[in-house]
Amino acid sequence: MDCIFCKIVSGEIPAKLLQETDNSISFLDAFPVAKGHVLVIPKNHHQKIQDLSEKENTDLFLLVHTMISKVDSITGSTLLAVHNGKDAGQEIPHVHVHLVPRSRDDSAGAIHSMFDGTVKLSDSEIDELYDKLKI
């Protein structure tokens, strides 16, 4: 497999590892968008979160929970981001959670600033989405 994250997990590519569990690792992002930008990934290759087993998912987000306190100590606020699939902006097809320290003057904005505007939905479209997504 030619996955850069799998190569980090195997030790083939060096990384600044921060924490390791049975199923996940965290490390400094090699191309950070802010000082202290951390990635948390599962050790096994999966493209999307829904592809993880329950055990892998739990382990991944427990490590996210552990690391966010450390990252949050840098500026006091942290952005969590997951691009879940290529069309969502995922550049490396291996699940990864970004933990990015944020500050008022960092030039990044709220999630709504990533998009041109809000989507206008009719009541029937909202009802259809509600029916499709509710559990």
Torsion of CA 40, 42, 48, 50, to 10 degrees: -110
For residue 127, give the CATH number of its domain: 3.30.428.10
Spatial separation of the C-alpha atoms in residues 5 and 24, rounded to whole Å: 11
Amino acid at 55: K
What mean pLDDT is reported for the chain?
95
Domain count, the chain: 1
Q: What is the pLDDT of residues 57-108, one digit of tens each?
A: 999 999 999 999 999 999 999 999 999 999 999 999 999 999 999 998 888 8
The reply to whether 83 belongs to the active site is no
The active-site residue out of 37, 96, 98, 112 is 96
Range of the domain at 105: 4-133
Place of tokens 């999630």: 111
